[in-house]
Amino acid sequence: MDAAVSLSGLLSEEGRRNPYEFYARLHEIGEAIPLGPADRYAAIVCGYEAVDQVLCDPGFRVPDAEYRDSSETWWRDHPVVRTLLTAFPNVNGADHARVRRLFGRAFTARRLAGLEPYIIQSTNRWLDRLAELGADGRPVDFMAGFAVALPVDVIGELLGVPEPDRAWFPSRVADFDAVLELGQRPLREVKAANTAAEELSAYFTGLLASRRADPGDDLISDLVRLNDPGLLSESELLHSLIIMFNAGFRATSKFFGNGLALLIEHPDATAALRADPSLAPAYVEEILRYEPPLHFAVRYAAQDTEIAGVPIAAGRSVLVLAGAANRDPRRFPEPDTFDPTRTDNRHLTFSAGPHFCLGAALGRLEGRLALPRLVSRFPVLTLATEPGERRTLMLRGFEELPVHLSSRETATIS
Ligand code: HEM
């Protein structure tokens, strides 16, 4: 590989802070770039075509228990990894399809449509709260006050997690998710993730038991009923539920923070959205393309294969950079320009192929409903301080985003 570009470039402080310069150099080299035999990955896949192809090809598998076992078995001692590897997002082939089908059946378009009034109500509630906290020009943290609060409420409502329990989750789930980051994680993070996995497991075991005893009209009750014939083992159901809950708010929270920072940076675009809320879907797509919450996925080759001319031996894994694909100049004109009027914006932020995000429609719906309400409710939105740096490539976003806002009395979109 080009001496000027190695994986350590991406993993460095600078690379994590601004991966886009690294991606631009990758695009000059090619669609896929081989790494050395000692590297963890056989190649980096960065071009749009190649990323799409790997994600859609069932011959490239998500790293599952079998893959982990081929190089190490220590992971079985870690509750967080056991939870991850028995949940359907980290399973392949027929087993993945079997569990995903059940979750997909419970997660219908009708259920989503039924959730819309709740999303609007919750959006307005959290906007009111922001207005209250930011009254008299006080700075308010948009992340805690809205970007996390709304998606937790929405996934909690969908699954049937009681409202008083919801504030308990964000810090635990953040601990759990820390192990998903690219590169080695420090032991203290792994320990915190294990504790979080055990706590989440205890919580959802209790919730499953209570819905079995007393079903409601929430998704967990549906899952329990649909699973009556025993299609899923208890650990498949429990662990998939935990991951579904986590996935259901973490990326969406980061999306809102990244989105607001972009809107503040682009006041003309924000004014256009304020004037015409029907533009919201295009804004959501461009925020997702330009600042994706998830920059990468990993896949391993089931057999000897090649990608964009780079040979990949059976059992070797590749680093698939959707964040780079979204900035591929061969696919997107002026890829480094934030342009919500962009057409043909089929980014890869929700992945592609068998593991395409199961909650994409919900994530999009939350964005489409909340963003126009946010900018309409607050005609003035500015940063209170420089936002902290984004340093992760998985769940990339702000921890805090202090803003000043000036408020209208009530939301103008009901
Ligand atoms: C802006 C918001 C979101 C983004 C950017 C996002 C992104 C992603 C990505 C990239 C994947 C695939 C990873 C891979 O290919 O290895 C994925 C999978 C998944 N997402 Fe999302 N997601 C979002 C919101 C949601 C929501 C709201 C839910 C739940 C309601 C959800 C549930 C899932 C599930 C269950 C999977 C696993 C699918 C499978 O492996 O079959 N996501 N998401």
Cβ atoms 1, 35 nearer than 8 A = yes
Residue among 155, 357, 362 whose CB has most ligand 1 atoms within 8 A, to mutate: 357
Q: How far, rounded to the nearest angstrom, does the alpha carbon of residue 249 sit from its chain's CA centroid? A: 8
- Mind listing the pLDDT tens digit for each residue in 354-392? 999 999 999 999 999 999 999 999 999 999 999 889 999
CA neighbor of 362 nearest in space, from 145, 155, 126: 155
- Mind listing the pLDDT tens digit for each residue in 178-194? 999 988 889 999 999 99
Q: Is the CB of 351 under 6 A from ligand 1?
A: yes
Give the atom of ligand 1 at the shortest distance from the alpha carbon of 103.
35
How many domains are contained in the chain?
Answer: 1
Whole-number pLDDT of residue 139: 96
Show the DSSP H helices in 13-168 as ranges.
Answer: 13-17, 19-29, 48-56, 65-71, 79-86, 93-106, 109-133, 142, 149-159
Q: Is the CB of 250 under 6 A from ligand 1?
A: no
pTM of the prediction?
A: 0.96
Q: Is the pLDDT of residue 410 over 50?
A: no
Q: Is the CB of 51 under 6 A from ligand 1?
A: no
Q: Is residue 308 part of a domain?
A: yes
Q: Which two tokens stand for residue 393?
A: 């490539």
Q: Is the CB of 147 under 6 A from ligand 1?
A: no
Q: Is residue 412 part of a domain?
A: no
Q: What residues are paired with 310 via a beta bridge?
A: 307
Cα-atom radius of gyration of the chain, to the nearest Å?
A: 21
Q: Is the CB of 100 under 6 A from ligand 1?
A: yes
**Structural domain span for residue 348:** 7-406
Q: Is the CB of 350 under 6 A from ligand 1?
A: yes
Q: Is residue 17 part of a domain?
A: yes
Q: What is the spatial distance between Cα 75 and Cα 376, in angstroms, rounded to a whole number? A: 48
**Ligand 1 centroid distance, CA of 203 (Å):** 22
Q: Is residue 107 part of a domain?
A: yes
Q: How many CB atoms lie within 10 A of CB 345?
A: 18
Q: Is the pLDDT of residue 409 over 80?
A: no
Q: Is residue 256 part of a domain?
A: yes
Q: Is residue 1 part of a domain?
A: no
Residue 294: helix, strand or coil by DSSP?
Answer: strand
**Ligand 1 centroid distance, CA of 212 (Å):** 27
CATH code for position 21: 1.10.630.10
Q: Is the CB of 326 under 6 A from ligand 1?
A: no
Cβ-based neighbours of 363, under 8 Å, separated by 6 or more: 251, 252, 255, 350, 357
**Ligand 1 centroid distance, CA of 361 (Å):** 10
**Ligand 1 centroid distance, CA of 385 (Å):** 31
Q: Is residue 414 part of a domain?
A: no
**Ligand 1 centroid distance, CA of 397 (Å):** 16
Q: Is the CB of 97 under 6 A from ligand 1?
A: no
Give the atom of ligand 1 at the shortest distance from the alpha carbon of 356.
12
Residue 321: helix, strand or coil by DSSP?
Answer: strand
**DSSP run (H or E) holding 312:** strand 310-312
Q: What is the spatial distance between Cα 265 and Cα 282, in angstroms, rounded to a whole number? A: 17
The string of DSSP letters for 112-147 reads HHHHHHHHHHHHHHHHHHHHHHTGGG--EEHIIIII
**DSSP assignment, residue 74?**
G
Q: Is the CB of 251 under 6 A from ligand 1?
A: yes
**Ligand 1 centroid distance, CA of 251 (Å):** 8
- Mind listing the pLDDT tens digit for each residue in 49-106? 999 999 999 999 999 999 999 988 888 899 999 999 999 999 999 999 999 999 998 7
Q: What's the mean pLDDT in 221-236?
A: 91
- Mind listing the pLDDT tens digit for each residue in 334-343? 999 999 999 9
Residue that has been written with the tokens 């000027």 in this structure: 4
Q: Is residue 233 part of a domain?
A: yes
Q: Is the CB of 89 under 6 A from ligand 1?
A: yes
Q: How many CB atoms lie within 10 A of CB 43?
A: 26
Q: What is the spatial distance between Cα 62 and Cα 274, in angstroms, rounded to a whole number? A: 41
Please state at what angle helix 187-213 crosses helix 79-86, rounded to 10 degrees.
50
Q: What is the spatial distance between Cα 195 and Cα 19, in angstroms, rounded to a whole number? A: 31
